[in-house]
Structure formats: structure tokens, C-alpha cells
Structure 1
Amino acid sequence: MAATTTLRAITHRLTTTPVHELPQITSFLASSISDCGELFSTPPGQKGPKGDSDNAAQIQKLKTRLTSLSLDRTVEGRWTAVVLVKAAVEAGQWEFLRGCEPLVRNLISILGKPDPVSTRKMAVITLTRIFHLTYQYPTLVREITTPSLPSFITATLNLISIKPSAEPIRKLRSNTPFLDIVFPALIELVGRHPTIFRPFSAQIHSLVLAVIGGAPGSFPGHVVKLAERLFISLHNCAPKNTSGDEWKNAIKATIAATHRASDYVFRAVVEQWESADPALRQSTATQNYGQEVGDYASDALGLSSWHGLHAGAERLTGLLQLLSDFFSTPTASTVSVPLGLVLDLTARLTLVTIPSEGADTVGTQSNPQVGREERDALWAELPRIHTAVMGLLMRIVDLMQTSIVPVAQTILEQALWVFRSGKSNRAIRTAMYQLVQSLLPLIGPTMAKQNVSSLTNLFRACCSDILPPAEDANPSAASSADPKNKAKATQGTANADSFFHVDANKNRQSKLTSSFPELQLAATQLLPVILSFVPTEYLAPSLRAEIDRTIILVSDKPAMLASVLNPVPAIKGRGPGPSIIPFLARAHSAEMDVESLIRPRMPVLMSTPDLNGQVTIVEEEAEDEDGGEMDYAGVSATSGTTPTFITTTLKSQLSNMPSVAEQNSQSLAKRSLPQDTSVQSSALPQTTHVERNENVQTKKARHETEAPTFAAQTVVENTPSTSTTSVGTSRANQQPVATSAVTTNITTKPAVSMTAAAVPNAEDDSDDELPTLNIDSDTDDEDEDVNMEG
């Protein structure tokens, strides 16, 4: 009823409100239409309560009003129509879509009118949404999408480009604001309707290449990324069963263009790299060292020329980003990845590294034909190139997962080449941490000791990046302590602001800690992976201590859990390493996983005779010496109900016990000493230890030599089999059991008292009875001595 009233109010306000005032209430009307989604999606012929005919009339009235507003002469009316059509389409789905073909034609015509940018952007979004929703309905695709989509593509391309009549390709408009709206719309639709897009493929191709190969700073970064995704998606427009080949040709052309750009960017050094592909060895570009570095011809992709080392680095990083997008954009069919060509390219780019002070590193030799200025400019641009290379490698590893294992060690070695020379750069360290985090779960458990040792510097750098910077000392105090500065200090050059250094240092420390969140996040996520997947025995003790110290200082729970679950193994001649469980419990005592690790509460699992795990509940009552009821494994003594699994197990165990006569004969064969009984009863006032075995005799420890160690649970052994049943025994105020070696706090279950009355096979007329197990203290004079030897 409320929805019906809301629908009636919407149509009333649309028809009575002046057109120039509609934009003020458009948002309210759109949200109200969303609330009426049930009415919009109800078929008109479906039987329902009274008033359905009125609802159908109101919906038809709303459609008529929206159609008239989409053709309105005012900007306000067309804006209102665009917004409300989108709201109605999403609320009504198929029922509203099947009659919106006139609205689609009107919205496409709005794209060609000189309306505000917001109106035309909203029209593109609304039409894209309509075409998206019709994709799952073949009838609607045939009636709406197929006849309207070509006009929509032409209209959107006209928003961002100009097509001269004499040329087959389009030219991009300068400073157009529609690129970030048109490119996502085309990416959304080209994979669903490749046949319709096929005649426009060449025009779209020329536009995206103009964006990808544009001058640095010509287009925003997100627009360039959208252009790269659209360029990759164009392989869907290939003829039938050739989209995979088209994708492979595109990635090969991108690799060739990257090699061509590298020929010019790296001309300041003599490369030691040699390609495995003979075609690339012979296609080295000729260099003219007399002019500025640059490529003055088009490359394999058809990108425009560039000049200047900075422009070349931008072109190189852009092509590497395009290669990364090849491995993240969905394809229409199965494709074959030229992984060898990609790794050949990354090997070339990672071999060129910044030389150390006074010497050249392996793979980096200066070219005497190039000046020092260009070489220094190359060292400044090299970290960006290496960061893009590691981003490409990380994207490949994330995509291929276990399929990358055969070449994973090669990828790791290439990354280590870069890390050794560029570890001072924060972007390189961040990319390196992310790449190693992806590789260790795949190859970490199978790494050799030498491979783990090669990562030691990386692991130490990771620890230092997690810790906050040390607090700076007082600069004035440091200068006064230096004898060389005493003369300067007497000249009155002290800094007066340094007297207020306390708050300044605190602010500086907090600022430095939060300046590089990506680096700190990558390092923090890497430490648990190191502890979980790297063989612990191959980590140097000093390195493991540094890792544990770091995670304790920052209280990182995932890393602390990984350290606890992967302890330092015991080494010959040295005991096991210390555990950080106390620090974990102190820092994260309220966490559920920490609680379950420190104090597990898993119950004892016992087998049952039935396959389905169900047994008949048997109620048995037995009284002990004090006349109380039996209490099995924590069951309340007042309930009188014995747990089924304990009752069944005790019956099976007691039925297999030897007879009393056999037990007496065994006890005579043993050496019985009075002091043994007294020592045992005094040392264990609240814990009973009963052993029953026909073939094995246990020799008791003598109290003169060493103190006995008692178990915290009562063990009943079955002679024919090796299975044992453990039932914990304790009292409410039981103290921890102390031994000569270790003091352990054990929480056990309530005691179990077994008498002869509880044994179903005992005979009433027999003089031999099973001994009574008494767990009370034997220190009082009135208590009877109990012989525990059975």
C-alpha cells in the first residue's frame, strides 16, 4: 500500500512541478522510484489484489512523462529524464526494459546536443546500464541493443574525437572531458557484443594508441590505464576463433616496442645482455649519438615518436604497464602466454643497474660515446623502470600461481639483481617485498640454504622498515659534546628553537612513521610469510632473533602467531630456541585465536560401537565410600545420568580386566615395600594412578633415589590392544602438580570413583572384589590405607 501511494505521489509531482524546478527534486524522486521496485517488476497480467490496474496505469503515466521530458527543449527537463530513466530501469528490470526502446533513442540523441557535460556523461552511464541489463535476455538484445548500439558507439566516439571525411581514422579531441566515461563504457560492452564493435575496431584502436603514446602529462594516469585496458579488449573483435591469436600478436608487438624503446633509453651503457630470440639480435636500432636521445619513427605498436630521456623512460614504463595489463584483463578465449619472451625482456631491464661508488657492476658498463649528463639522467630514471619491471613480474606470478614454479627461481634472481643496487629506493623495496611475498608460498618450502642466505639482506631491510625511526637526539647537545664545535658554540650560534625539541621530535617521529604507509604495509605483510614458508632451520639465529624482536616491538599478531607455530628447531649441542608466546598472550589476550592456541579446550574424542556414533543411554548409579553418587568426567553427581560414551568405554575396558585371583597372584610376585605405598600416597594426595596389565610389570621408583613423576590423568590400559582411555581427575581446589624437572599448571576434569558395584560382571557371592579407588587424601589418621598395586 505504501509503494502504491509513493508511485502515485511520484507521477503527481512530475506532472505538476514546473520543468525548471525539477532538478531540485530529482534525487528525491529517484530514491522514491527505487522504493517502488516491486511494483515496477510485477507483470501486468499477473493476478493480484485490487489496485493493480491502478498501479499499471501509474507506471504507464510515468513512462509517458519520462519520454516527453527526454524530448524537452529545456536542459532541466532532459537532465531529469536521464536520471529518472536510470532509476526506473534498475528498479523495474525486464518489465520496464521491454518498453524503453523510445527512451533509448531519445537518450542517444541527447549525446549529440550541446547539453552540459554532466547531462551527457549521465546519458552515457544510463545507456551503458541499459545495454548491460539487456544482455541476459536475448529478446531484448534483438529488440533494443542490436539496433541501438551502433548509434551509441558513433555518438560516444564523436564526444571524444573528430573523424575527417577524407581519412579512415579518427583524431582525438584536445582537452575532452569524456574520456574517463567513454572508455569504461566501451570496455564494458566490447566483450559482450564483439560483432557489433568489429566495424569500429580500427577507429577505437587509433584513439587508444594516441592516449597510450601521448606526451608525458598529456592525460591523467587513470585515463591512460583505461586506454590500455580498452586496447587489450579489442582482441574480442577478431573474427571467429582468432581472438587468441590476435591477443598473442598484440603482446608480441608490445614486447617488440619495449625492446625498441630500451635500445634508445639504455644507449648510455654497454649492455651485456644477449637475447635468446635471433630476431631480436638482428633488430637493434641504429643510434645517432650526435643528437638528443629519442625515437623519431613509429614502433611496432604504431605509437608516435618521442625525444628526451625522461620521455623515453615514460614510454618504457607505460609499455611495461601495458604488458602487466595483458595478464590482468579477461580474454574471450584461451590464450598462450609467451612467457619466455617476457622473461627475456625483464632480464635485459634488470641487468642494467646503478653502479656502485667507483666501479661498475656486472652488466653495467659505461658507453664512452655518451656524455656523463645523459648517463646520470639514466641513473635517476632507472628506479622507476625497475619498479615497473617488478610490478610486471608480480602480476605474472599472481596470475599463473603454481604454473610459474619452473621459472620462479629465475624471477627471484632477477629481482635480487635490482635489490642489491637499488635497495636505498623506497619504491623498489616496496615492490620487492610484494614480489617475494607472492613467491615464497610457491617455492619457499623447497628452497636450499644458499637461496635462503641470498635473501638475508632483504629480510633485515624488511625488519628495519617496519620499526619506527629512532628518536633524534638534541642537536644542540650533540654539537656541544663535539670538541670540534666548542669554538663555534662560544660564538653564540646556538639555535634557540632547539630548547623546545621534545615536542618537535615527537611530531617528527609520528610524521616519519606515517609518511610511507605502502612500504610499511608491504614489509609487515612479508614477515608472516617468511616465518611460515621459509625453512626455519636455514634462517641464521641472529636473523631469527631480529625478526622476533621486530614483531614483538610492533605487536604484529599474524607475525607473532607465525613465529609461535614455526619455532626455532633444536640444534645439536644447544637446546630449543625461546618462544614468544608470553609476548603474544600479553599483547593480544582478548583475541579468540590466541586464546585457543594458549588454552585449548578440545574435548577427548572417544570411539563408539555404532557406525553412526549413537548409543543407548544407560543410567547407572553407584555410591562411593561417602554414599555419594558416581561422577563420570565432569557429569553432575545429582543428575544420576552417566555419559554414554564413558559408560560404554568403561564396560568394554572393565570386561577385559584380569580376574581378582590373577591380580593377587601378580601382586605376590612383585616386590612390595611399605614405604613405596606411603611415599606414593603422600606425594599424590589428590591424583590416582591405576595401571592394569597382564604381561607388563612396572617397577616403581624408590623414594631414596629420585622423586617420582606422576601423570595428571588416570590411565586404564587394555591388555589385548594398545589403545588407552584417559579420564582426568582433580578436585575443585586442586593445586598444580610439581615434579623435579618441570612445574606445569594442568586443568583436569572432576575425579572418577570406581567401586565393585559399578562393574556389571562382578559376582555377589565372590569373596574377591575389585579394589576400591579412593582419591581422598591419606594423610589423616582415620583414613584407611589403600594398596594401589591392584
Structure 2
Amino acid sequence: MAAASDVTSAQATLRAITYRLSSTPPKQLPHVAAQLACNLWASKDLISSPPAPTKQGNEGSVTVNRFRTYLSTLLQDRTVEGRWAGVVLVKATIEAGGVEVLSKSNAWVRSLLGILKKPDPPATRILAVITLTRIFTLTWEYTNLIREITTPALPAFIGTCLSNVENQRCSGGELRTVLEAFATLIPRHPTMFRTHEAPMRSILLRILSTTPSTAGSGRHYSTEHRVSAQRLLVLLHNCAPKQSAAEKWDEALKTTIIAAHTTCDRIFRSMVEDWQSTSGVQPSLAVNALLRGEAEMEGDDAVGMSGWNGVYAGSERLIALLGLLSSHIGTATAGAVTVRLGLLVDLLTRLFSLRTPLGKQITLKPNQQVSKDEREALFAVLPGVHLAALDLTRSILLRFGTTAASLTQPLLAQITWLFQAEAADSGVRTAIYGALADVLELQGSSLSRGDVADVESIVKACCRDLLPSDEITSMAKGAAPAKSSQNAVLGLQSTKGTFTNAAATLRLAAEALLPLCFSQIASTHIPGRLRTLMERTAILTQHKDALVASVLNPAPNGSRTKMQPSLLPLLAKQYPHSAEVEALLRPRMPVIKTGRSGADEDEEEYGDVPSPFANGHEEATDGAHDDDEPSNGLLDPGGENHGLANDEDLYSASPKRQGEAAGSEAAQDKRKIADSDINNEHSAKRVRASPVTEILLPGTADSVSDPDRSIAHSSLPVPVTQDPPSSSFVTAMEPSQQAAAAAAPVSLQAKAVVASYNAGDMVDIGSEGSDFEMPPLTMEQDTEDEDEDEEDDEEEGGQGG
């Protein structure tokens, strides 16, 4: 019944969608197309199911066929709005219907290719490219569908897209969509792209060659266009004949490195470089020819990019080549390739060796044959070049991981020198923070004390970028003074927006670096002042990851007499509900059950030394006092021992452990009592506790924090008074109580003593459940003189006897 109702509901939904499409004017279809595409998923089972021979299945097939027919009509509609809605609904139907709809989509593919050839708006063509790419990727799992759908339609798709890209009406969004679609399809269909490799390479090189400083065709290409073009240019090696793709990839990498060195020869000519190639790179021109005229590239370079003129244009070309090298490293290949890391490291060494001078300290020698203006222009573009070089460095570290461990040491030194020269540039600081974080993740634990001292300036700058400054705070609060109303309306708003974007990127890089400084660098190598600054930054910025890393990697304690401070209290206060904080505060594992009785487990939990009362007898160390005293239990006023039932739980009744100082004082008092042989007498008007009682009372000043442990360490017998009290006011025990007391084991009697007192609480002798029974109240005045007289009389009587 449930399945039948679901089918009926799906049919009703699909009929409603079809009716909505047929009854809506074409001009209004773009407004309802998105909603109808979402409703299609409610009919997913109906659309994806094959036709059934039953009557109900026949009705569903009729509904699906009617819907498909109307979609085909929309794809061929005369209006732009109708075709746009048809493309949207076709993509949603194919994704919801699966292979059942995909196998019948040949007609839709032909209609979509026809839409690409029409002068429709760029939005319609973009959706058509996305839909066709989705159809081609869905056929990868079915060989027959590749043969029936992809193979006939893909060549026409490539040719149409290339012609649209060459057209002036192509928008930036359509260009990027086409580049991404080609990058998705080339690895799986390289032979179909082989015939179109030349026009594709020409388009990609034109995109990469066009920069703000070069005179191009007048078209503007954004950073996203260049990134997509770099990735697609790297993937063109798949179009090579069989088993030569790896060789073509290696050739493209070496060609790009040569082009980068050629560009460096021209834009670095105003300085005398101290770099010497370790990979056999030779100068591209003779010195005299290189210094003649301006810095320029007349013809195409080794990669095929067009020429350029001037230092600024040359720096943009060098940045583009470095980005292309990063794409070579970061883009996955279909097969194994050989990466010549030596060539890459040699190029990076050359780029990092030339740095902006620090004030009046010129570490490099200028070339006097080149004008000062060109040298200053070089110093202006160096941070951008170094930023691209740092991105290439990060790509190498992320791709090779621990395999590139031997490169981390020289790269770390170069990064440190670069930071000292260009730390004022926020973009360079951001890239250096990221590169240092990658180095620490790979080889942070192996850094020596000298390496940590070299990167100390970077860590300090990281903390400064995280800590709020007065200028930033005042700017955020709107306290910056406006010089004029025009600046307040225009200049301040634009400056604040630019500042916010740059500061956000810089802050993210600094936040990622700070926890790694705690966790990856050895705590013994971090200076005390630097550690204090790092912890202060983590506290003030409420950096959770940094606080956790600081707690997990505490600073070394040089002096054993001082307690090492920890950030755990602050972490627990700021993040009380965090799982990491819970793990730090409660690291213990649960108690493992061993199958013993509950009393034994409680005994082991509260003390490792066995208790003489819990075992029912006192364990003498030398056996000399086995027969000295017959009882270890506490006697009631009637001289009888009271015990507990065998099944009574003593867990909650066990005394709590007090401090070791109180325990030592109580042990000394107990030894004094054990040495004295004075018999304690019971007063006629007050029940006096025996020495054992005084020792076990936890509320008194002479009480023992852990009676089991203190008595077990004492080998002296404890005198117990067994004389019956002389007072006639003590209530005698009932016969049933006497029988129970006689039958109870001595061990349970001792447990009853321990269970009757709680640590830190005064014992109420008259309370219910106490072993003592209070005498009835009398109107006689109780004085100490009477007690002393009675005690003297009893002593004289004992001597006379």
C-alpha cells in the first residue's frame, strides 16, 4: 500500500509540473523554472524507473513521456526565456532520472548543441555548456553510452565552444566555464581534443600573455581566467600520442623554467647577482646585448608567450610563469611523471637571493650601467615576484610532503632572509606565514635551537598581527578623523574595505601559524620571552587551537622548586563545552572491573595499603603482638561489639582521605597513646570514648585522615578498655542485639567503626545509628569535680583490692 501510494503521489507531482509548464507563458518560465526543478526530485523514482507492463505502470510511463516531450519542445522554443527554462529542467531531469533518462538523451544533446550555436545570451550558453559537460561525465561509467552519446557529440561541442570563445560576444563567465569544462573532459577524452590542441594552446597563451602592462587585443582577463588557463595548459600534455604524455609534461616543465630564467636575465640586469646556477643554466644573452636599450623581450619566449617591454611588464610575465610552474606541480596527471626538483630549487634560489635593500644597508651591488630609475622599479616589483615564488614553494612542499624534507632547511633560511627584507609588505608576510607553517608541519620537530632563533622574528610578527592595535581598533569603531566630507564619504569607505580584505587574509595565515609554533617546535628551543608573547597572544585573541597546543606542550620547568604556570584554567573558562577541554580535564580511564567483591574494590580505590579493620584483624609486622589484645573493634558501653550485616556497603561510609600533614600528626599522637598504658575509665554521668575511639573520630583535632593506613604502619598494640561502665544510667543491650553482636565477625565490627564516621564531620553520639547510647537526662548538675572524685575513689579501691 505504501509503495502504491508513493507511485501515485509521484505521478500527481509530475502531472502538476507538466501542467504548470504548459499553462505558464514563456516570458514567465524563468521565474518558475527553479521551483519546478526542485519539485522534480519528488518524482525521482518515477522518472528513473523503466516502463512497467501493469496498468499503473502504463499510466506512469504516459506521464513521463508527456513531460519529456514538453522539455524537448522547450529546448526548441522560439523565445530565449523558453530555451533557458528548458536547459535548466533538462539538467535537473537527467540528474534525477539517472541512467534511464541518460540513455534517452540523444535528442536533448543535439538540441543543446544547437543552442550553443545560436546568439543567445551568455547565461543560456553557460548553462548549456554545464549541462552538456554533466551529461558527458555521467556516461563515463557506461561504455555503451560513451559510444552512443559522448563520442558523436564531443567533437562538435569542442569546436562550437572554441568558436564562441574567439567571438567578441563571449563574456568572462562563459570563457571561464569553457576552460573548466575542457579541463574536466581532457583527461578522459584526450584523443578527441588532440585535433583541437593547437587552437586551444593559442587561446591559452594569449590569456596568459595579456597583462595590464602589455598592449593586447583590448580584452581583459581576470585572475580566475589565468588560473584556469594555467591548469588547462598543463593538462594539454594528455593530448600527446600514446606513452609520450610524461615526456611532454617534462618538456613543458623545463621550457617554463628556461623562460623564467630568460625573463630574470632582463629584469634583474640593474643589479649584480651573486647567484650561481647549480643546474647548468646559462645566460640567455651576452652581457653587452643584455645591457643595450631597455629591459624587454622582443619575440615570443620559450613557452610561446608574446613579447613584453619594461620592468613592470617583465615582472608580470615572470609572475605568470611562476604560476604556470605551480600549476605543473599542483595539477594531477594521468600517469607517473619525473619532477626535476633541482631545476625548481635553483630558480627559487635565484629569486630569493635578490631582495629589497634594508634602508641604507645595500647588501647587493648595483649595476652602474643601468639607470637608477630602472633599479627602483625593480625594487618596487620584487615583493610581487617573491609572493609568486613563495606560492611555488608551498606547492612543492604540499605536493611532495616528507619526500622534500631535504629542501626544507635551505628554503627555511631563504624565507628568513626574505622576511627580514620585506616584512613591511602584508602580502609577503601572509605568504611567509603559510610557507613557515608548511615547513613546521613537515620538519618542525627536527629544527635546532639556531633554526628557532632564526624564525623568532617571524613568530613575533605573527603575534603582532594577531594582537589588536590602537589604529585598527579606532578605525573599526569609526574614530578615525575625517579631513573633509568628501574623504569621509568616498575615501574612508574604500580604504576600510581594502584594509578589511587584506587584514582578513593576513589574520587567517597568522592564526594557522601560531598553534604550529606551540606543537611542532620543541619547547626547550623556544626562548622564555617568545613563549610568553605567544601565550599572551593566544589568551588575548581567545585562540582555542593555540591554547590547546600550549597546554599539550608546556614550557620546560628549569627549577623544580617552582610551579610551571599553565593556561588550562583559562582554556577551561573560555571553552567549557569543548571536547578537547573535556579530554584535558578528565584524562583518566574508567575503573576496570576485576570480578572481586565491592568491598575489596573500594579498599583498593581508597588506599594501596591494606586496612587492618577491613580484613577483620590487625596485621602485625613481626608477629610479636598476635595475642596482646583480643579485640580491634570498638566496644559499646556494655562491653559488646556491634557489627554490620555481611552485605552492607561500606563504600559511602569509608572515611575520606585528608592531607598528609594531618595524617603524620595523627600518627604521632597515636604512637603516644599506644606507648601509654593508662586505662580509660567511664564516668558515671558521661560516656567517655576509649583511645581507639579517639583515634578513629575524624572530627577531632587528633583524628587520623586515613585510619587504615596509619594503623597498618604501626606495630604497637592498641589498648582497648573492656571494663563495663560504672554508671547506672547506661542502657543495657537487648538480647537480640547481644546475639547479633556475638555472631558478627570481628572484621565486620571493625568495618562498622569505619562506616559510622565520615571524614571532616563531627560525630553525634546521640544520633540514630551510632554505637553509643546516651544516658537519660537528669536534673543533677554535671561538674568536673565530681568526676575527678569518683575517679580517685575508683583508683583507691583498685589499689586496696
8 Å CA contact retained: 2:616, 2:748? no
Q: TM-score, normalised by structure 1?
A: 0.73
Cα root mean square deviation, aligned: 4.4
Between the aligned partners of 1:61 and 1:523, the Cα distance in structure 2 is: 59
- Alpha-carbon spacing, 1:434–1:177, altered in 2? closer, same or farther (3 Å): closer
Between the aligned partners of 2:624 and 2:250, the Cα distance in structure 1 is: 85
Q: Which consecutive unaligned segments of at least 5 residues does structure 1 have? A: 163-171, 475-493, 498-504, 609-614, 621-629, 635-644, 678-683, 690-699, 709-730, 740-763, 786-790
Are 1:774 and 2:754 an aligned pair?
Answer: yes
Equivalent residue letter for 1:61:
R
State the SS of the aligned residue for 2:272.
strand
Aligned to 2:526: 539
Are 1:181 and 2:177 an aligned pair?
Answer: yes
8 Å CA contact retained: 1:568, 1:576? no
Are 1:686 and 2:688 an aligned pair?
Answer: no
Aligned to 2:380: 380
Alpha-carbon deviation of 1:407? Answer: 1.3
Aligned to 1:488: none
Alignment of 1:377-456 (within 5 A): 377-456=377-456
8 Å CA contact retained: 2:296, 2:309? yes
Alpha-carbon deviation of 1:223? Answer: 0.8
Between the aligned partners of 1:526 and 1:291, the Cα distance in structure 2 is: 45
- Alpha-carbon spacing, 1:701–1:261, altered in 2? closer, same or farther (3 Å): same
Structure 2 counterpart of 1:107, from 103, 107, 112: 112
Alpha-carbon deviation of 1:80? Answer: 3.0
- Alpha-carbon spacing, 1:212–1:766, altered in 2? closer, same or farther (3 Å): closer
Alpha-carbon deviation of 1:596? Answer: 3.8
- Alpha-carbon spacing, 1:688–1:402, altered in 2? closer, same or farther (3 Å): same
Between the aligned partners of 1:128 and 1:420, the Cα distance in structure 2 is: 49
State the SS of the aligned residue for 2:551.
helix
8 Å CA contact retained: 1:462, 1:523? yes
Alpha-carbon deviation of 1:732? Answer: 14
- Alpha-carbon spacing, 1:526–1:148, altered in 2? closer, same or farther (3 Å): same
Alpha-carbon deviation of 1:397? Answer: 1.1
Aligned to 1:585: 572
Aligned to 2:643: none
Between the aligned partners of 2:255 and 2:242, the Cα distance in structure 1 is: 21
Are 1:97 and 2:102 an aligned pair?
Answer: yes
Equivalent residue letter for 1:37:
K
Among all aligned residue pairs of Structure 1 and Structure 2, give the percentage whose two residues are the same amino acid. 34
- Alpha-carbon spacing, 1:661–1:74, altered in 2? closer, same or farther (3 Å): closer
Alpha-carbon deviation of 1:226? Answer: 0.8
Alpha-carbon deviation of 1:663? Answer: 3.4
Alpha-carbon deviation of 1:359? Answer: 2.9
Equivalent residue letter for 1:597:
L
Aligned to 2:309: 307
Q: Which has the higher contact order (CA 8 A, sep 6+)?
A: 2
Structure 1 counterpart of 2:351, from 336, 349, 352: 349
Alignment of 1:600-749 (within 5 A): 600=586, 602-606=588-592, 608=594, 633=602, 663=620, 665-666=622-623, 668=625, 686-687=655-656
Aligned to 2:688: none
State the SS of the aligned residue for 2:104.
coil
Alpha-carbon deviation of 1:179? Answer: 0.9
Between the aligned partners of 1:95 and 1:590, the Cα distance in structure 2 is: 49
Are 1:60 and 2:47 an aligned pair?
Answer: no
Alpha-carbon deviation of 1:249? Answer: 1.4
Between the aligned partners of 1:15 and 1:175, the Cα distance in structure 2 is: 32
State the SS of the aligned residue for 2:84.
helix
State the SS of the aligned residue for 2:255.
helix
Between the aligned partners of 1:670 and 1:388, the Cα distance in structure 2 is: 91
Aligned to 1:727: none
8 Å CA contact retained: 1:274, 1:281? no
Between the aligned partners of 2:505 and 2:128, the Cα distance in structure 1 is: 38
Between the aligned partners of 2:699 and 2:191, the Cα distance in structure 1 is: 81
Alpha-carbon deviation of 1:287? Answer: 4.0
- Alpha-carbon spacing, 1:666–1:105, altered in 2? closer, same or farther (3 Å): same
Alpha-carbon deviation of 1:120? Answer: 1.8
Alpha-carbon deviation of 1:572? Answer: 5.0
8 Å CA contact retained: 2:699, 2:763? no
Equivalent residue letter for 1:539:
I
Equivalent residue letter for 1:686:
P
Between the aligned partners of 1:326 and 1:308, the Cα distance in structure 2 is: 27
8 Å CA contact retained: 2:463, 2:510? yes
Aligned to 2:159: 154
State the SS of the aligned residue for 1:280.
coil
State the SS of the aligned residue for 1:354.
coil
Between the aligned partners of 1:303 and 1:153, the Cα distance in structure 2 is: 23
8 Å CA contact retained: 1:293, 1:307? yes
- Write the deviation string for residues 264-297 of structure 1: whole angstroms up to 9, x where unpaired: 1111111111111224357678644342221112
Structure 1 counterpart of 2:208, from 203, 207, 212: 212
Alpha-carbon deviation of 1:262? Answer: 0.9
Equivalent residue letter for 2:205:
L
8 Å CA contact retained: 1:471, 1:509? no
Between the aligned partners of 2:569 and 2:180, the Cα distance in structure 1 is: 53
Alignment of 1:235-274 (within 5 A): 235-274=237-276
8 Å CA contact retained: 2:698, 2:758? no
Aligned to 2:277: 275
- Alpha-carbon spacing, 1:339–1:661, altered in 2? closer, same or farther (3 Å): same
Aligned to 2:12: 5
Equivalent residue letter for 2:547:
M
Equivalent residue letter for 1:258:
A
Are 1:366 and 2:399 an aligned pair?
Answer: no
Equivalent residue letter for 2:248:
E
Between the aligned partners of 2:473 and 2:95, the Cα distance in structure 1 is: 62
8 Å CA contact retained: 1:660, 1:770? no
Equivalent residue letter for 2:174:
F
Between the aligned partners of 1:399 and 1:473, the Cα distance in structure 2 is: 39
Aligned to 1:42: 49
Are 1:198 and 2:194 an aligned pair?
Answer: yes
More displaced stretch, 227-236 vs 52-61: 52-61
- Alpha-carbon spacing, 1:318–1:707, altered in 2? closer, same or farther (3 Å): farther
Aligned to 2:724: none
Aligned to 1:135: 140
8 Å CA contact retained: 2:44, 2:96? yes
8 Å CA contact retained: 1:293, 1:308? yes
Between the aligned partners of 1:670 and 1:511, the Cα distance in structure 2 is: 92
Alpha-carbon deviation of 1:51? Answer: 2.3
Equivalent residue letter for 1:124:
V
- Alpha-carbon spacing, 1:662–1:331, altered in 2? closer, same or farther (3 Å): same
Tell me how many residue pairs correspond in the alignment. 647
Alpha-carbon deviation of 1:106? Answer: 1.9
Alpha-carbon deviation of 1:77? Answer: 3.5
Between the aligned partners of 1:285 and 1:205, the Cα distance in structure 2 is: 33
Between the aligned partners of 1:324 and 1:738, the Cα distance in structure 2 is: 73
State the SS of the aligned residue for 2:365.
strand
Alpha-carbon deviation of 1:461? Answer: 0.9
State the SS of the aligned residue for 1:516.
helix
Alpha-carbon deviation of 1:243? Answer: 1.8
8 Å CA contact retained: 2:48, 2:101? yes
Between the aligned partners of 2:392 and 2:298, the Cα distance in structure 1 is: 27
Structure 2 counterpart of 1:526, from 513, 520, 523: 513
8 Å CA contact retained: 1:263, 1:284? no
8 Å CA contact retained: 1:468, 1:509? no
Equivalent residue letter for 1:581:
L
- Write the deviation string for residues 630-660 of structure 1: whole angstroms up to 9, x where unpaired: 79759xxxxxxxxxx99xx99xx999x9996
Alpha-carbon deviation of 1:470? Answer: 2.7
Alpha-carbon deviation of 1:110? Answer: 1.8
8 Å CA contact retained: 1:415, 1:432? yes
